[in-house]
Amino acid sequence: MLKKNDKLTVTISALTYAGLGFVKINEFPVFIYNSLPGEEVEIQILKVLKKYAFARVVKFLSYSPDRNQEIDYHSIQSGLAPLSHLKYQAQLSFKENQIKETLHKFGIDNPVESIIPSPKETHYRNKSQVPVRLVKGQLSVGFFRAHSHHLVPTEDFLLQESVIDQNIIKVRDILRKLEISSYDEDTQRGVVRNIMLRFGKFTGELMLILVVNQKDVPRLKKLKHELQSSCPEITSFILNYNFKNTNVILGPTNKVIYGSPYLTDKILTNTFKISPLSFYQVNPLQTENLYRIAAEYGNLKSTDTVMDAYSGIGTVGISLADRVKQVIGVESVQQAVEDALNNAQLNHYDNVKYVCGKAEEVIDQWISEGLKVNKIFVDPPRKGLAKNFIEQSVKMQPEIIVYVSCNPATLGRDLAIYKELGYAIKKIQPVDLFPQTTHVESVTMLEKNRTF
Ligand SMILES: C[S@@+](CC[C@H](N)C(=O)[O-])C[C@H]1O[C@@H](n2cnc3c(N)ncnc32)[C@H](O)[C@@H]1O
């Protein structure tokens, strides 16, 4: 029986989908941080639970040829970039295999296309949401160590655009100088919870959203002045109020201190305005590839009526609008729907409509109103599609369904239902939107069986 602090020598047998090394010791599963298949390592047991244990490597006796020796992001691996110890090529195979294996569990053995690598392997993110906490008596920024709220201070976040990293540090230093306090989760006091920055890759705009725990921010005028004089790259500054003791980063209301309430950016040929509470893809160069593939899988025609479900600020639907007759979209976040409607106008499309609501509920209403769509695009969050949405979407009998997924497990579950209900899987294309992390994105094309 394993005990905490036991030391053993093992050879890692697999890499889990969460990026941890795995071995069985006397049939008992052990998950080991920062280790890769084939590596012989001395480990120390950190925690023993009923059905498995966690361990760390104390000494490497051999290294995997897939190990990225160039960057020693030991602490980052457990938090921000859990795959950064794996060479990029091996990360791509890991993700491709994950899709194949997961779909196989749902009885789906269709061929999977080779994953499309990200144009940038690091510093690709256009958004950061870094926590602000007191560490050793000083307001600090960093990341929470995995499965904890223990802040590890850092100045290099590895995944974010460099302009974001530089401005996080500048904002941190201004907060320190003005003695504006950081949030304390235990007492629920202190002012600044998070520094969020969003960067428009194609416009150069940079939006600062300071998430605060109280309405009155001390020395706000001075803060505004300091930001305007020391951070010229920041084009707008917004306060977001979050007074709840919660893991959800953003609160429901914002106040613009200066600049525009929207960030403006471009995807392919269209311009988009994005408000602070709206979802926006984080890897802008690769997003263009993702949308190109989705459009190609839609086999678009000028007579098509397209549904854009889980539409965010309308980026998918608007990217298709010039090639189809009509786009109708649904999204649950009110602000995102307003953005989508503004974005349709901004790009001069009068054939695009968005409504606010849950896709699985709005689809009932659309069916009862007799709406006919012949192509459906879905891009749900990690939990995938609601069963009712799947069943109702099949009732609409679209020729093609394009499923953009960020979670192979829910993708497999949903594809299995579509298969049962008469849809054939034609193509599955993984796209690496999130290098150095374990996240796996893909686009699947489903086509209605002719005998249906
Ligand atoms: C992965 S994002 C995709 C957004 C957009 N297609 C894009 O590429 O930017 C998923 C979106 O679904 C929305 N959402 C979550 N649950 C929903 C539901 N039940 N019905 C409609 N939209 C939902 C989220 O607010 C989010 O904007």
Query: Tell me: the pLDDT tens digits for 254-304?
Result: 999 999 999 999 999 999 999 999 999 999 999 999 999 999 999 999 999
| CB 311 less than 6 A from any atom of ligand 1 | yes
Q: Kindly report the protein residue whose alpha carbon is nearest to atom 16 of ligand 1.
A: 332
- Check residue 77 and give its pLDDT: 61
Give me 240's structure tokens.
């977001």
Beta strands in 302-386 (DSSP E): 305-309, 326-331, 352-356, 375-378
- pTM, two decimals, is 0.93
| CB 281 less than 6 A from any atom of ligand 1 | yes
Interatomic CA distance for residues 312 and 273, integer angstroms: 11
Burial (0-12, 13-18, 19+ Cβ within 10 Å), 148 = exposed
| CB 330 less than 6 A from any atom of ligand 1 | yes
Interatomic CA distance for residues 73 and 62, integer angstroms: 19
- Check residue 73 and give its pLDDT: 59
432, 117 in Cβ contact below 8 A? yes
SS3 133: strand
Interatomic CA distance for residues 394 and 373, integer angstroms: 11
Residues of the chain with pLDDT under 50: none
Interatomic CA distance for residues 439 and 85, integer angstroms: 15
Q: Does the ipTM exceed 0.90?
A: yes
Nearest to 439 by CA among 402, 403, 416, 405: 405
| CB 275 less than 6 A from any atom of ligand 1 | no
Interatomic CA distance for residues 404 and 430, integer angstroms: 10
What are the binding residues? 281, 310, 331, 379
**Distance in Å, CA 322 to ligand 1 centroid:** 22
| CB 319 less than 6 A from any atom of ligand 1 | no
Q: Kindly report the protein residue whose alpha carbon is nearest to atom 7 of ligand 1.
A: 312
SS3 157: coil
What is the DSSP code (8-state) at residue 323? G
| CB 277 less than 6 A from any atom of ligand 1 | no
Best residue among 278, 310, 410 to mutate for probing ligand 1, ranked by most atoms within 8 Å of CB = 310
**Distance in Å, CA 333 to ligand 1 centroid:** 8
Which residues does the annotation mark as catalytic? 406
**Distance in Å, CA 223 to ligand 1 centroid:** 34
Give me 30's structure tokens.
């052990």
Domains, the chain, with CATH or none: 7-67 (2.40.50.140), 96-119+283-448 (3.40.50.150), 127-266 (2.40.50.1070)
Interatomic CA distance for residues 309 and 260, integer angstroms: 28
What are the binding residues for S-adenosyl-L-methionine? 281, 310, 331, 379
Q: Kindly report the protein residue whose alpha carbon is nearest to atom 6 of ligand 1.
A: 311
